[in-house]
Each structure stands twice: as C-alpha cells, then as structure tokens.
A = this chain, B = another copy of it.
Amino acid sequence: MRFHLSEEQIAIQDAVRGTLADCWPMERLHKFADSGDDFDPDSWAALMGLGLGGILLPDSGMGLLDAALVSEVAGEMAAPGPLIAQLLAVAAVARSGSEAARAHLDGLVAGTTIAALALGDSQFVQSARAAQVLLVGDRDGGIALVEAGEGVTIEPVQPTDRSRPVSRVSFAGAIRHELFSAGDPLAASLCDAALVLIAADALGGALHCTDISVAYAKEREQFGQPSGRFQALKHQLAHMALDAEPARALVWYAAYAWDAGLPDAARAAAMAKAHLCDVYVRSTRAAVAAHGGIGYTWEYGLNYWFRRAVLNRAWLGSPAEHRVRAAVMAGW
C-alpha cells in the first residue's frame, strides 16, 4: 500500500522545478510571449537534459504517474511546450510496430526530434512550427506519426495561450506512419494518457495560482493589516486550496490506474480531465480577484496561467464532453 509520493518522485519534481526556475523566469516568459515563436530551445534543452523524454518508454521503470508529476510542475511554472506531446510520442512510437516510426525513437527520447500533438478533432497544434513529427489522431480512431514538411500546412495564429502557442495545421498528403490502427486498445489508451497529462498540468497551474495568491495576501497590507487577515479573502483562499488540493489525488489515481491497467483507467482519465480543467478555470479567476488590480496587469504574469486554463479546458474535449463519456462508461 502506497498512495503518496516517494522521495524519488518528489526529487524529480524538485529537479524539474529548479530547472525551470533557472531557465524560465518571468522575464523569459514575457519575452517569449511577445516573440511570436512557438518553441523555446533553451528551456527545452534544459528539460530534456534531465532525461524526461524517456519517462514513458515501456522499460523506463517509470510510468504515467511520473510523467504526470512532471506535467504538473510544467503547469505550475507555465513551461513552454511541447512537453506533453513529446512524452506521448515516445510512448506511442516505442509501443508501435512501425519500423519507420521507430527510427525517430532515439531522437524523440533525447528531445532532439521534437514532436507535436494533433489528437482529437482539433485543427490547432502547439509548437507546430518547431516539430519534426506530429502524433496525429485519425478520424477513425487510429494513431499515426506524421513527418513535418511537405503536405503539412501550418498557418500561424495569434495564440491565446502565450506559453504554448498553437498554429492551425492540416495534413493533406503528408508522409505518415501508422502506429495503431482503429480499434487498437493502445490508441484509446494513449488518448487517455493525454487527458491525464493535461489534468496534471491543470493541477499544477491551479496550485500555483493558489500559492501565489496566498503569498500575496500575506505580504500586501490593506487597512493596516495583511489582506489575508481579513476573513473574506482568507476564506476565498481557503476555497481555492480546497478546490485544488484534494483533486491532486484524482490525478494520481488516474495515472496509477493507467500504469496498472485497471479496468477504470479510461473513466478515471475522463473524470480527471473534466474535474481538473474546471478547477483550473476557477482557480485562475479566483487568483485574479484575490490579487486585485495587479493581477489584472500583463506585467504580473498571472494572465499566462489564465490563458493556459483556457487552452487546457477546451483541449481534447471540454469537461462536459468528458462527463458525458464518464456517464456512458459508468453504464448510466
């Protein structure tokens, strides 16, 4: 029986947190957000230097839970992409029988070959311009690896999420390697893993919003008192924590169920995605309100998390869509 983090897992999170604190401070994020780029080579190299690329290799000794812990810290620090795509691409390619795709595996694990994610019906892809391969969900439910280049059309847009900019992408006639055909349980399972990683990013973001709001309430004086002394704000902050902190175990469980191949893994992924993305939206709104004017400025940076919450919520299906799936899977 073990349902809390090990020292190793906490160490991994600390390593990712420390790395991002160094290479991804707010000044860097501000600069990136206004640059029009969709990829940040320095922070990517630093993260990949930690060996994160291979977490979801079948023989890594780690699993989706570890990947989710990393995604959580990425969410906390508003890290640029395409981390989730990379983790999933490695998982997919390593588990597929496609030799052509497997030729990319070493590069993907090392992070020298960059992967983007185009699962679901979305036309929007993060870090699309930087990616050499795209993990693409077919309309029929199969999954393929598409080579960037000819046949892949990328139209940049002004992205809402400035830390993980998207482009509008289409794939007519691109080179593609089928990884899993329609109906292959691995295809569905990879989509579930994506949901868990998004939920983990949302968790990290929500906790970050709570923590900076609490810190601000301790430091800022209003009417001669730290504003966090006032019961109204104190209770609002307590509710932010109450919303996010217990939901942490929901993400853990979803990841654990995926790793252990439990029968409720798919449903747990749907519940985690739906619940955490709602939590994240509430947390970012509450954080702006808790900060007052400064939270509404661009300079303070809270808006990056707000914008990530907007993206996470709609990415790969809204909370309501996943609740419909969860209801069906429960046999209601």
Which residues of A pack against B, CB within 8 Å? 230-232, 234-235
Q: How many copies does the complex hold?
A: 2
Which of A230, A231, A235 lies at the interface centre, i.e. has the most chain B CB atoms within 10 A of its CB? A231
Chain B residue with the shortest CB-CB distance to A232 = B231
Give 6 A-B contacts (CB < 8 Å), ordered by A residue.
A230-B231, A231-B231, A231-B232, A232-B232, A232-B234, A232-B235
Chain B residue with the shortest CB-CB distance to A235 = B232
What separation, in Å, do the CA atoms of A231 and B230 have in the docked complex? 7
How far does the Cβ of A255 sit from chain B's closest Cβ, in whole Å?
36
Residues of B within 8 A of A231 (CB): 230-232
What separation, in Å, do the CA atoms of A230 and B230 have in the docked complex? 9
Residues of B within 8 A of A230 (CB): 231
Residues of B within 8 A of A232 (CB): 231-232, 234-235
Chain B residue with the shortest CB-CB distance to A234 = B232
Chain B residue with the shortest CB-CB distance to A238 = B232
What separation, in Å, do the CA atoms of A232 and B237 have in the docked complex? 12
What separation, in Å, do the CA atoms of A231 and B232 have in the docked complex? 6
How far does the Cβ of A84 sit from chain B's closest Cβ, in whole Å?
37
What separation, in Å, do the CA atoms of A115 and B106 have in the docked complex? 84
What separation, in Å, do the CA atoms of A231 and B234 have in the docked complex? 10
Residues of B within 8 A of A235 (CB): 232
What separation, in Å, do the CA atoms of A234 and B230 have in the docked complex? 12
What separation, in Å, do the CA atoms of A36 and B230 have in the docked complex? 49
What separation, in Å, do the CA atoms of A18 and B47 have in the docked complex? 75
How far does the Cβ of A305 sit from chain B's closest Cβ, in whole Å?
26
What separation, in Å, do the CA atoms of A146 and B230 have in the docked complex? 61
What separation, in Å, do the CA atoms of A235 and B235 have in the docked complex? 11
How far does the Cβ of A180 sit from chain B's closest Cβ, in whole Å?
42
- Rank and list the top 3 A-B pairs by shortest CB-CB distance, nearest first: A231-B231, A231-B232, A232-B235
What separation, in Å, do the CA atoms of A234 and B234 have in the docked complex? 14
Chain B residue with the shortest CB-CB distance to A230 = B231
How far does the Cβ of A95 sit from chain B's closest Cβ, in whole Å?
46
